[in-house]
């Protein structure tokens, strides 16, 4: 499965993600949410990630082309997002980010940091 991390420095980030995901029609059950689109393609979010493994996504970060300032993600919390379709991932994460009270970023499979509202489906690596 293709994955990326959605991250934020908000202390209520995971709860905010579950509320926003439910508002977008995802089924939220414990530390995960699943969203099927109208083509029956699925996007799944996993929470309750062990912060001791944050180095898995925090090490060797790179800003996406055109990102002027790299955010300080040293204290960020993360949820893992699985999706096989970059277009679904980018559009749904942008909609989710618009509902979050604080900024969020995507750290893709190559360690590239994207503003969650501006992920390019042609360039993101899940």
Contact criterion met (CB below 8 Å) for 32 and 3: no
Q: How large is the average pLDDT for residues 111-125?
A: 96
**DSSP bridge partners of 45:** 33, 81
- Integer angstrom CA distances of residue 87 from 47, 52, 58, 105, 125: 22, 31, 24, 17, 11
The reported pLDDT for the residue numbered 116 is 97
**77-83 vs 42-46, strand pairing mode:** antiparallel
Q: How large is the average pLDDT for residues 105-121?
A: 96
3-state secondary structure of 49: coil
CA distance 107 to 111: 5
Q: How confident is the model at residue 69 (pLDDT cuts 50, 70, 90)?
A: confident
Q: Select the more confidently predicted residue: 115 or 68.
A: 115
Contact criterion met (CB below 8 Å) for 24 and 45: no
Q: How confident is the model at residue 113 (pLDDT cuts 50, 70, 90)?
A: very high
Is residue 68 predicted with pLDDT exceeding 90? no
Nearest to 45 by CA among 72, 63, 65, 24: 24
Q: Residue 82: phi, psi to the nearest 5?
A: -105, 135
Kindly report, residue by residue over 18-54, the tens digit of the pLDDT. Answer: 999 999 999 999 999 999 999 999 999 999 888 888 8
Helix H, strand E, coil C: the string for 88-118 is: HHHHHHHHHHHHCCCCCEEECCCCEEEEHHH
Kindly report, residue by residue over 75-108, the tens digit of the pLDDT. Answer: 999 999 999 999 999 999 999 999 999 999 999 9
Is residue 5 predicted with pLDDT exceeding 90? yes
The reported pLDDT for the residue numbered 53 is 87
């Amino acid at each position: 499965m293709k994955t990326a991390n959605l991250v934020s420095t908000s202390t209520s980030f995971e709860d905010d993600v579950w509320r926003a995901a439910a508002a977008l029609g995802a089924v939220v059950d414990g530390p995960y949410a699943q969203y099927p689109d109208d083509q029956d393609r699925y996007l799944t979010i996993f929470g309750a990630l062990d912060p001791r493994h944050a180095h898995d996504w925090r090490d060797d970060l790179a800003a996406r082309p055109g990102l002027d300032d790299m955010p300080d993600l040293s204290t960020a919390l993360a949820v893992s997002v699985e999706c096989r379709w970059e277009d679904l991932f980018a559009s749904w994460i942008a909609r989710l980010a618009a509902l979050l009270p604080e900024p969020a970023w995507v750290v893709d499979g190559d360690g590239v940091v994207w503003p969650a509202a501006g992920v390019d489906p042609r360039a993101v690596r899940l």
